[in-house]
Amino acid sequence: MDLIQIFFLSIVQGFTEFLPISSSAHLILVPKFFGWDDQGLAFDVALHVGSLLAVLYYFRLEIIKIVKDILKSIRLKKNIGESSLGWAVLVGTIPVGLAGLSFNDYISNNLRSPQVIIITTIIFGLALFLSDRKVGTKIENSINIKTSILIGIAQAVALIPGTSRSGITITAALFLGFSRIASARFSFLLSIPVIILAGGLKSLELIQSKINVVWNELFLGILFSGISAYICIYLFLKFISKSSMLPFVIYRIILGVFLLFVFNDYILY
């Protein structure tokens, strides 16, 4: 890949990973529009590593506190401080882990198509709009095990391209009465084990496939993706503290309609 392709794909991944607009859809569609060859498994892993480093660094203080409190809660056998939030993140990851193990091959072979992306982009954009009208005031620390399972089940649906992991988890949290900031923050914390699991699975596939790795491309991908993802998290949380999710809903609808026209012949065929 040339530097322009590396930079562009990295920026797309970094910004779309945490915005409610689907990173997987954009990484599938962008190479198609520009006529680029598929970026390959190794580069996808690198982009996810960059996103992971960004969210870990942004929430580093909260993560340290959560880990300490979880360890204390295990020792004392009761919830301590932020331990309940930590357990909620871990429990909320179970549904997507099970779904990924069960349906990963089917999704990869059957659902990475323009038709699916168009449908999920529009439908879940409308769902985000409806949930945003029911925005509540609950904070992320009030998320219990039952709530985390419900949001986790929603997250599992995001394995389907075009759904958006952050979009559907934020949507679920909003429907459950959480504030926009709380919904987004829990979504971002919930992304950490998911990205680790997804990256680990792709890394195993990479090792088994014995693909030749171009290390300078991977390091640049990690760097550009990480920086853009960090900026995205910061700006997104700042934006929704003062505004609604409507701009992202509009973007999803416009994107879905645009893709409908672009891939009209393909879909009819």
Number of domains in the chain: 1
Q: Measure the N-to-C terminal CA separation of the chain; round to a whole number of Å.
A: 32
Q: Which domain holds residue 120?
A: 3-268
In terms of pTM, does the model score above 0.85? yes
Question: In the predicted model, what is the mean pLDDT of residues 236-263?
Answer: 92
CA distance 79 to 140: 15
Which residues, 6 or more positions from 77, have their beta carbon under 8 angstroms from its beta carbon?
none
Tell me the per-residue pLDDT of 84-111, one tens digit each, with 9 for 90 and over: 999 999 999 999 989 988 887 888 788 8
Predicted confidence (pLDDT) per residue in 185-207, tens digit: 999 999 999 988 887 777 777 77
Cα 98 from Cα 172, distance rounded (Å) = 19
Backbone angles phi, psi at 178, to 5 degrees: -90, 155
117, burial (CB in 10 Å: exposed 0-12, middle 13-18, buried 19+): buried
